[in-house]
Every structure is written in C-alpha cells, then in structure tokens.
C-alpha cells in the first residue's frame, strides 16, 4: 500500500503552475512509493479560487502561515517570490514538514544558511528545485562525465540567454528593483548555471565578473513614470574550478534571439559535450578516442529507453517538454521521503550555490577576483 502524503503549495503563478502540473502527472508515470495528494493551494489574488480548481487542488488558502501549520499537510512546496522563501521554509521545518523550495534558495547567503540549519535541525527532507538537473540530457551528461568519458575536465562554458527584456518598451517589473530582487539576473539565471557547473564540474575556486544594465530606465506600468533599473540585466563571469578546469559564463535577459537558451559546452581530455535547453531532448557528445576518420560530435536524441527517466514516458523518439523536468524533480523528492533519506539537491546544495552567487556579486562590485569559500 502506497503512502499518501498531502501537499501544500505556496504560490500559484508561473512556478505554482509548473509544480501543480507535476503533482498531477507524477504518480501516473513514476512510482516513488509516495502518492502526492493535492490538498491546498496557497496564494494571493482574485484568481486563486478558480486557479486552485483548474489545477486540481482540493482547496485554497490565502494565509501561508495556516498552511505550514496545518497538521493535515505533510509537504510544503514553496513557489513564492524569493523574498518569502526563508520565512516560509523555516516555519515549515519547525512544523515538521518536508520542504521543497524553488531556486534560488534565498536572497542572500546568510538567509540560505539559516534555512539549511532549520531543515537540518528539524530533520525534514529538503530540496531546492534546480529543475534542470531533471533534464534527461543533463543527467546523461552527468553520467558520461562520472564514467570518465570526457576525461579530466578542462573547459566548462555555460550561457543562459533570454531576450525578454530586450525592448526598451518592456516595462519596469519588480525584478528590476534591487530592494525586491537582490542581485538581478546575475543571481537569478546565475543560480541555474552555477548549480549546473557544480553538479557537472565540481566546486568553484575563484571568480571574476562584470555585470551590466543595458537599459537604465524603464516605464513603470502602474504609474506611467520612468524608473531607474537598479539590478543588472546581464553578466559575464570567469571561474577557476578546484579541479583545474576554467569556466566561462554569461547570463542575460538581453540576448537578442535567445528565448530560453541554456547552453553548456564542456570539454576535457577525452571528449566534449554540448547541450542547449532550446533543444532539450538532444545532447551532443564527442569522444576523442573515436577513430580519426569518423570522429565528430554525435547528436544524441535523448529518448532511448536506456536514457535517464525515459523508460517511464513514451517509446523512443517521442520527445519530452520543459514541464517534464518538474515531474522528474518532484519524483526525486518523493522518492527521498519514501526511502527516508536525503534528497538531492538539498538545501546544503542551495547554500553552496549561493556562496558562488555571492562571490560573483562581490567580484563585480569590487572589480577583482574573489575566492569562493571552501565547503
């Protein structure tokens, strides 16, 4: 008999929708030993009731405090704006709930460490949702690297490029206000590429960075007045890794033509690979020990039964979408609960990521190389 566990999801916007969908789907495709029950959707706004119904939640609730303290709830899933993460996660942990939190874990390293301490003290299963670890092609990349197919890593390049705010007519939004959004896209997109770098290439050593705000004033849609943009909309940074590899990073909301291009280019002494989220079902791999005559990047369609997660879905060649990565991550979370062990990536991983985000922000502010704290 599978265990049923009740979910309280805080946040009903973009991430709330993605998580809701994943809870609907996960038990159909994966068996973690835990069946998630969509109990309560928590949010603020006139559309909360209708959204909860449409997404399949049994009820809705405006007070997150009530949800985290509700004895009926087993799991708290945090999809709020970043500045609520800490308070909710710590309260949830105190009430003994398992906690899944969207990335980035917190606005600052200090906050992230407090959150980590709280969940560890409470002994609850905790996870920060770096959802791209759930892309089958990225997990395959991880396997290939771990098997030594790329040899010692030399280069780790990652680019997370979108162009949503390219137009000068794009309005001022809360992410452009330093008070509300912290370190800007450097932290927001940065957290994704840094987590993937840590996942695939190991710990950072030093970083140098330059952030930019290409459009310095935008129109506030509320007031119609111009407002100063106080966060960055792009950043480039270099890194060294503890392994000796060197890294090259760009994050940008101003990269014309890129809609959701999270590109990884990783190479080492025996091979290389390339990934682009816009073609997330593919992985390009190169093996230096192939005979010279037939050496070349192989374009793998990562939909074979032997590829990560694929056997749960459809036959060979039937591609997955972005939303499926959430199903994978939530499955991993439920599986950890079911097996009574740590989830991965947990809050500790979130803290490690935040350490690097912190370092690049300092590197930019102080215009010098900054050493990342050793773990």
Residue 109: how many CA atoms within 13 Å on its side-chain side? 13
CB of 148 to its own copies, least distance (A): 13
User: For residue 68, which of 80, 78, 55 has the smallest C-alpha distance?
Assistant: 78
121 or 367, CB closer to its own copies?
Answer: 367
276 or 355, CB closer to its own copies?
Answer: 276
For position 244 contacting its own copies by CB under 8 A, the verdict is yes
Tokens 């106080």 correspond to 230
65 or 146, CB closer to its own copies?
Answer: 146
- Report in angstroms the alpha-carbon separations of 153 from 267, 269, 299, 341: 6, 6, 20, 30
For 94-161, where are the E strands, in sequence order?
A: 98-102, 126-129, 153-161
Exposure pattern of 267-280 as b/e (b: 16+ CB <10 Å)? bbeebbbbbbbebb
- Report in angstroms the alpha-carbon separations of 321 from 22, 274, 290: 12, 19, 32
Are 309 and 139 a contacting pair, CB within 8 Å? Answer: yes
For position 335 contacting its own copies by CB under 8 A, the verdict is no
Extract the tokens encoding 269: 């002494």
Stretch that binds its own copies, among 79-87, 98-106, 190-198, 278-286 (CB under 8 A): 278-286
For position 164 contacting its own copies by CB under 8 A, the verdict is yes
Extract the tokens encoding 194: 């840094």
Stretch that binds its own copies, among 12-20, 37-45, 66-74, 108-116 (CB under 8 A): 12-20
- Give residue 241's Cα distance to chain centre: 21
Which residue in the set 165, 185, 231, 255 belongs to the binding site for its own copies (CB under 8 A)?
A: 255
Map the footprint of its own copies across residues 341-370, applying CB under 8 A. Answer: 367-369
Map the footprint of its own copies across residues 213-242, applying CB under 8 A. Answer: 214, 234, 236-238, 240
Stretch that binds its own copies, among 93-101, 189-197, 252-260, 346-354 (CB under 8 A): 252-260
Map the footprint of its own copies across residues 175-214, applying CB under 8 A. Answer: 208-210, 212, 214
Cα separation, 53 vs 48, whole angstroms: 9
- With CB under 8 A as the rule, give the number of residues binding its own copies: 98
Map the footprint of its own copies across residues 33-92, applying CB under 8 A. Answer: 54-56
Stretch that binds its own copies, among 64-72, 183-191, 194-202, 251-259 (CB under 8 A): 251-259
CB of 128 to its own copies, least distance (A): 20
49 or 238, CB closer to its own copies?
Answer: 238
Which residue in the set 39, 307, 328, 352 belongs to the binding site for its own copies (CB under 8 A)?
A: 307
Are 190 and 235 a contacting pair, CB within 8 Å? Answer: yes
Cα separation, 225 vs 217, whole angstroms: 10
80 or 255, CB closer to its own copies?
Answer: 255
Stretch that binds its own copies, among 84-92, 103-111, 152-160, 172-180 (CB under 8 A): 152-160
241 or 348, CB closer to its own copies?
Answer: 241
Which residue in the set 83, 178, 286, 362 belongs to the binding site for its own copies (CB under 8 A)?
A: 286
Three-class DSSP category at 354: helix
Phi first, then psi: what are they for 106, rounded to 5°? -155, 175
Cα separation, 107 vs 179, whole angstroms: 10
Cα separation, 304 vs 287, whole angstroms: 20
118 or 359, CB closer to its own copies?
Answer: 359
Beta 3-10 vs 75-78: how paired, if at all? parallel
Are 260 and 277 a contacting pair, CB within 8 Å? Answer: yes
Which residue in the set 6, 87, 180, 322 belongs to the binding site for its own copies (CB under 8 A)?
A: 322
84 or 313, CB closer to its own copies?
Answer: 313
CB of 146 to its own copies, least distance (A): 13
């Amino acid at each position: 008999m599978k265990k049923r566990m009740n979910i309280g999801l805080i946040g009903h916007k973009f991430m709330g929708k993605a998580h809701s969908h994943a809870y609907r789907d996960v038990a159909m495709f994966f068996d973690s030993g835990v069946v998630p029950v969509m109990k309560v959707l928590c949010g603020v706004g006139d559309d909360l009731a209708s959204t909860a119904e449409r997404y399949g939640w049994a009820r809705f609730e405006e007070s997150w405090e009530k949800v985290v303290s509700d004895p009926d709830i087993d799991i708290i899933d945090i999809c709020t704006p970043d500045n609520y993460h800490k308070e909710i996660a710590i309260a949830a942990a105190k009430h003994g709930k398992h906690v899944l939190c969207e990335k980035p874990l917190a606005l600052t390293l200090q906050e992230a460490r407090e959150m980590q301490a709280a969940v560890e003290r409470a002994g609850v299963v905790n996870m920060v949702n770096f959802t791209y670890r759930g892309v089958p092609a990225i997990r395959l990349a991880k396997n290939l690297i771990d098997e030594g197919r790329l040899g010692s890593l030399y280069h780790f390049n990652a680019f997370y490029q979108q162009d949503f705010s390219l137009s000068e007519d794009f309005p001022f939004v809360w992410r452009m206000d330093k008070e509300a959004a912290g370190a800007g896209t450097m932290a927001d997109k940065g957290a994704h590429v840094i987590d993937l770098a840590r996942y695939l290439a190991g710990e950072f050593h030093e970083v140098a960075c330059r952030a930019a705000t290409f459009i310095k004033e935008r129109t506030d849609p509320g007031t119609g007045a111009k407002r100063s943009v106080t966060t960055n909309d792009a950043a480039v940074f270099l890194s060294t890794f503890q392994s000796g590899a060197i890294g090259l990073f760009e994050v940008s909301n101003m990269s014309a033509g890129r809609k959701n291009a999270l590109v990884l280019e990783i190479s080492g002494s025996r091979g290389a690979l390339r990934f682009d989220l816009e073609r997330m079902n593919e992985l390009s791999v190169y093996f230096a020990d192939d005979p010279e005559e037939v050496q070349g990047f192989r374009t793998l369609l990562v939909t074979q039964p032997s590829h990560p997660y694929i056997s749960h879905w459809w036959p060979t060649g039937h591609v997955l979408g972005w939303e499926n990565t959430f199903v994978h991550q939530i499955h991993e979370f439920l599986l950890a609960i079911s097996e009574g062990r740590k989830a991965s990536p947990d809050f500790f991983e979130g803290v490690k990521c935040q350490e690097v985000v912190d370092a690049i922000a300092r590197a930019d502010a102080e215009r010098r190389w900054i050493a990342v704290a050793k773990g």
